[in-house]
Structure 1
Amino acid sequence: MGKAKKSVLRFWIEVLLLLALVGVGAFIWWRTQNWLPPRGEYPTQGVLTGEAEGVVDISALRTARTDFVYLEASAGEDGRDAQFGRNLAALADTGIPHGAVHAYDPCVPAEKQAANFVTIVPRDPELLPPAIALSKLASECGDPVMEAGVESELTTFINQVEGHAGQPVVLKIAPEFQERYAIASRIERNLWLESGWVQPDYAGRPWTLWTANTNVRNPANGETMRWVVVQP
């Protein structure tokens, strides 16, 4: 085969490989924006939303067949989601079950975080169980005392939040937090785990909630949703 023919062949091989890569990329992009766990396996599905998504669009949530909503509410000692109050009001009287999420900061004493949570989240028996998001590691605090006391402080915080809410919390555990502290086996509460497209198994016991896709496109308004399903 002459050099000219080899060059032409190489050119078309490269073109075909490029087209294949573009096709794979397009499929992944489409799947990321549209994939949801099948309703037949997971009948109850909902969203996690907060300041990043803005005020909830009730009509769009209904179009997406959202069965429940969790609202980011508070974080650490004084962090407050700018949209929580509006979102809470928007969901009132809609019949859509909803609850609040607190982002736990192991660098801050439990009592200060609990004070923040109970100030912003009302005592309402109609709310879903409060969720505690655990992702920040105590190693980031630069204080070995805090590193050693993670479980104790977290337990104190849980007790105070449960006293306010009147029901057990849900532990929303990130993989890195579980790997460092094995908290799922130390504190017996329902678990909320995260793993895109594939069921999570990093907690060592069954989950109750699963963040299955953080980039789902709402068919009603095109906005991105963080999609969560309930273990049937």
Structure 2
Amino acid sequence: MRILALLLLAVVCAGGWYWWQLQHWSPDEAVYPDQGVEVAARDGRVNFRTVRALGGRFAYLDASYGAKGSDAAFSRNLTAAREAGLQVGAVHRFDPCVMADGQSANFVTVVPRGADMLPPAIELAATADDCAERVTEAAVESELMTLINQIEGHAGKPVILKIMPGFETRYGLSARIERNLWLSRTRLLPDYAGRPWLLWTANEALRSEAAEQPLRWVVVQP
């Protein structure tokens, strides 16, 4: 019985150690020198100077969603990240239930145009399965391409597609749209898009001194 208890304690300790390591893990800077964060209002106050001290060089900020949604902390985070000396980019969350024109107008309203901005990213997570009216796969792809062209016209740079696993499984668009990819998978290299990525959310919940809430830690393909 005592041996069994010791074995159980060892398993619990090992599990706790692994969980702590996972929460505090980020890729080796020698392998991935360009690292940064993705930040939204839900992350609370973020000390971007601490992000920089931790090795961060850039910050992607959640900015707009669909045709009407915007991140309440975007302007504050934009100012703070720039003051900390980080390069900054904006993220728009694509809504497959809404036409592209309204979404691009929302993005243009929220995100300032600037040569110093990083290429914008479009997050592809929500599918059309929950739309009030049926939206075909062809319509999703068509509206997404329209949105891409409109946002690129505003930014003057090609967009990055931040494709989440469920969206890629549902639509398989990474093989049909020639844009740089941003994939997400904690600790393990993501391969669900079937082709190389430019950005990788390597830890989706990194605990650090930069914020009370865990942050999404992102690296660039070297």
TM-score band by shorter chain is: over 0.9
Structure having the higher Rg:
1
Q: Which residue of 1 aligns with 2:93?
A: 103
Distance 1:90 1:123 in 2: 17
How far apart are 1:168 and its partner, in Å? 0.3
**Structure 2: tracts of 5 or more residues without a match:** none
Select the residue among 37, 47, 50 that pairs with 2:40: 50
Distance 1:31 1:63 in 2: 20
SS at match of 1:144: coil
Check if 1:128 corresponds to 2:106: no
SS at match of 1:145: coil
CA, structure 1 residues 146+119, in 2 after alignment: closer, same or farther (shift >3 Å)?
Answer: farther
**Structure 1: tracts of 5 or more residues without a match:** 1-10
SS at match of 1:149: helix
How far apart are 1:223 and its partner, in Å? 4.4
User: If each structure's strand is expressed as a fraction of its own residues, which one has the higher value?
Assistant: 2
SS at match of 1:176: helix
Select the residue among 173, 191, 202 that pairs with 1:212: 202
Distance 1:220 1:169 in 2: 28
Distance 1:119 1:48 in 2: 20
Deviations along 1:155-212, one digit per CA (max 9) or x if unpaired, are: 0000000000000000000011111111111100000000111110111110000001
Distance 2:141 2:196 in 1: 20
What is the Cα-based RMSD across aligned positions, in Å?
1.5
Q: Which residue of 1 aligns with 2:182?
A: 192
SS at match of 1:127: coil
Check if 1:18 corresponds to 2:4: no
CA, structure 1 residues 109+146, in 2 after alignment: closer, same or farther (shift >3 Å)?
Answer: farther
Q: Which amino acid aligns with 2:220?
A: V
CA, structure 1 residues 220+57, in 2 after alignment: closer, same or farther (shift >3 Å)?
Answer: closer
SS at match of 1:196: coil
Distance 1:126 1:227 in 2: 21
How far apart are 1:143 and its partner, in Å? 2.9
Distance 2:184 2:204 in 1: 9
Distance 1:112 1:222 in 2: 34
Check if 1:183 corresponds to 2:195: no
Q: Which residue of 2 aligns with 1:28?
A: 18
CA, structure 1 residues 114+221, in 2 after alignment: closer, same or farther (shift >3 Å)?
Answer: closer
Check if 1:229 corresponds to 2:219: yes
Check if 1:145 corresponds to 2:135: yes
Q: Which amino acid aligns with 1:19?
A: L
SS at match of 1:118: helix
1:74-89 equivalences under 5 Å are: 74-89=64-79
Q: Is the 8 A contact 1:63 1:219 kept in 2?
A: no
Distance 1:139 1:58 in 2: 37
SS at match of 2:21: helix
How far apart are 1:92 and its partner, in Å? 2.8
CA, structure 1 residues 205+42, in 2 after alignment: closer, same or farther (shift >3 Å)?
Answer: same
Q: TM-score, normalised by structure 2?
A: 0.94
Q: TM-score, normalised by structure 1?
A: 0.91
Q: Is the 8 A contact 1:184 1:203 kept in 2?
A: yes
